[in-house]
Amino acid sequence: MIRLRTGVVREVTGRRPGAIELSVDVDGEAPAAAIAYPSLVGGVEPGARVLLNTTAVALGLGTGGWHFVVAVLDGPPTDADGPGHVPGGQQRRVHGDGLEVAAERLAGRHDRVEQPGLAQPRHEPRE
C-alpha cells in the first residue's frame, strides 16, 4: 500500500534540469528531503503545502532518503506536459505487486512471496 503524507516546503535546496530538490516539514515526522518534478506537479516554492509519497523511504528501498512530491496542494491545477498514457489495470497491478515484492525481498522474505500476474524476466537477448 502506498504511504502518503502532507508537508510544507521549508526551502529549495537545489535545482537541476527537470527537478527541484526540497527540504520539507513532513506532518507528524521529522523534516526530510524531497524531490519534485515540475513537469508533473508544477512549480514548488517555500511555504507550499505538498502531498508526498513516503513509501520507498519508509521501506528503505534505496531512494537515498528522498520522498517524492505527488502534488502541490496550494497550487493551481496542473496537467502533465509531453507524451504519456494512463496505465491500464494490469500495469497498475504489476507495479503495485512490484513494490510489495521489493519490500519482501529487502526484508529477506523473498522465498515466501507469491507474485501472481508478474511477468517472468526475459533471459534471452532482445532483437
What does each of the 127 residues of the chain score in pLDDT, given as a tens digit?
A: 899 999 999 999 999 999 999 999 999 888 999 999 999 999 999 999 999 999 999 898 877 789 999 999 987 666 655 565 555 555 444 445 555 555 555 555 544 444 444 444 444 454 5
Residue 123 lies in a domain: no
- Contact between 22 and 12 under an 8 Å Cβ cutoff? The reply is yes
Are 8 and 61 members of one domain?
yes
- Looking at the structure of the chain, the number of domains it has is 2
Are 88 and 56 members of one domain?
no
Domain residue limits at 101: 83-118
* Burial classification of residue 34, based on how many CB atoms lie within 10 Å of its CB (0-12 exposed, 13-18 middle, 19 or more buried): buried
Are 20 and 54 members of one domain?
yes
CATH value at residue 27: 2.40.50.220
Residue 120 amino acid letter: Q
Are 65 and 87 members of one domain?
no
This model's pTM is above 0.75: no
Structure confidence by residue, pLDDT tens digits, 108-120: 554 444 444 444 4
Residue 125 lies in a domain: no
